[in-house]
Amino acid sequence: MTIKLDPWGHFAIKEYDKLFKQFGIEPIDKATPLLPKKHYFFDRKIVFGHRDFDKWLQALRNGEKVAVLTGFMPSGHTHLGHLMVIEELRFLQELGAHVKIVIADAEAYAVRRLSRKETIKYGIEYIAHAIAWGLNPEKTEFYFQTAQKTEYYRLIQMFSRRVSMAEMEAIYGDISPGKIIASLTQAADILHLQLPEYGGYKHVLVPVGADQDPHLRLSRDIADRFHTELGLNRPASFYHKFIRGLDGNKMSSSRPDYAIFLLDKPDIIKRKVMMALTGGRATAEEQRKYGGIPEKCTVYELYMYFLYKDDRELYKLYKECVEGKILCGEDKRIAAKLLVEMLTEHQKRYKEVMEEGIVQKIVKIPSF
């Protein structure tokens, strides 16, 4: 049986076990102890699996040059699903890794069919949020796929020689010229940092959702095929569960009522949280008797991903919920309050970043 890797879906642990067995993704536990510093994303298994992340951490500990590369598809406003990736990058930068972020505007244009103007506008928004959240604008590299250097594009052309239509079909199913270019562009994103022209980073880590693993597998194969010619090595990767939308499905800007956008105003945030799907019972009475089901609750996920960084706090909430000691209404009010605080603070910094024109100062914006 083949598992469909759904990037934004919510997997049960059982399904993750299959991922480990079928695709050779390792459970994160083996790598976590090598982290020089703890982060709750790893302890809570939000980051649940990896390829060669242990080797990458060992290189970091050995003082070797290490880099992180991940991408954002600029196809809508930035929401909490993106913020968890930004938080990962912030943490990895804190550990001493060089961080590079690609805005996949070529892909958004070709595959998602957005206008160039929209993709560029959304791209600038992502970058501003990343800086506002704490990525160091002087140390972080950002680029648009359509505003890169020659050596990067040359990789796309060169890679095309050693990949097959069958590989493209394995990634996309139904293929098109747009998807083929997007796929080879992603391989160039993942591998270009290893070129001398781009810093010669031989240990590159790619944090992504599990749905992106086919791209990682392709990039690892391409690295093998160009090892001699271009000196490329396999990238490492780790895989996270995405925070769900407030209706329990994937959080997506295409269903804005169930996503928390980073620029949502307090009253909007409160309204969305109060409407959210929980693991509550039909009546308050039943809930007091049987307790809630946090595993089903999208508000519980807000606490787990962002609001309660302290495991004891989170555990206390979990316990109170399953024992029926806290009801969904109260739980939501607390979550909404904490989320408003977090995002109000963030929006203040976002505003400063935009007013100072930092993005335009540090990133080459495509001309059309």
- From first CA to last CA, the distance across the chain in angstroms is 45
Please tell me the distance from the alpha carbon of residue 163 to that of residue 167, in angstroms, as a whole number: 7
Minimal distance in Å, beta carbon 116 to its own copies?
8
Q: Is 282 helix (H, G, I), strand (E, B) or coil?
A: coil
Please tell me the distance from the alpha carbon of residue 257 to that of residue 259, in angstroms, as a whole number: 6
- Judged by CB, which is closer to its own copies: 124, or 328? 124
Minimal distance in Å, beta carbon 66 to its own copies?
24
Are 244 and 297 a contacting pair, CB within 8 Å? no
Are 206 and 190 a contacting pair, CB within 8 Å? yes
- Judged by CB, which is closer to its own copies: 46, or 168? 168
- Judged by CB, which is closer to its own copies: 279, or 366? 366
- Judged by CB, which is closer to its own copies: 179, or 240? 179
Give the list of residues 6+ apart from residue 226 with CB closer than 8 angstroms, or none: 158, 159, 162, 191, 232
Minimal distance in Å, beta carbon 165 to its own copies?
6
> What is the number of H-type helices and E-type strands within the chain?
17, 7
Question: Which helix (H) or strand (E) element contains residue 48?
Answer: strand 47-51
Contact residues toward its own copies (CB under 8 A) are: 106, 109-111, 113, 116, 145-151, 153-154, 156-158, 160-161, 163-165, 168, 175-178, 180-182, 184-185, 197, 229-230, 366-368
- Judged by CB, which is closer to its own copies: 45, or 154? 154
* Dihedral angle over CA of 87, 93, 99, 104, nearest 10: 0
Minimal distance in Å, beta carbon 193 to its own copies?
15
Minimal distance in Å, beta carbon 200 to its own copies?
13
- Judged by CB, which is closer to its own copies: 12, or 166? 166
Minimal distance in Å, beta carbon 204 to its own copies?
19
Q: Is 49 helix (H, G, I), strand (E, B) or coil?
A: strand
- Judged by CB, which is closer to its own copies: 2, or 164? 164
Q: Which residue has tokens 């929209």? A: 118
Q: Which residue has tokens 């109170």? A: 320
Minimal distance in Å, beta carbon 358 to its own copies?
22
Give the list of residues 6+ apart from residue 154 with CB closer than 8 angstroms, or none: none
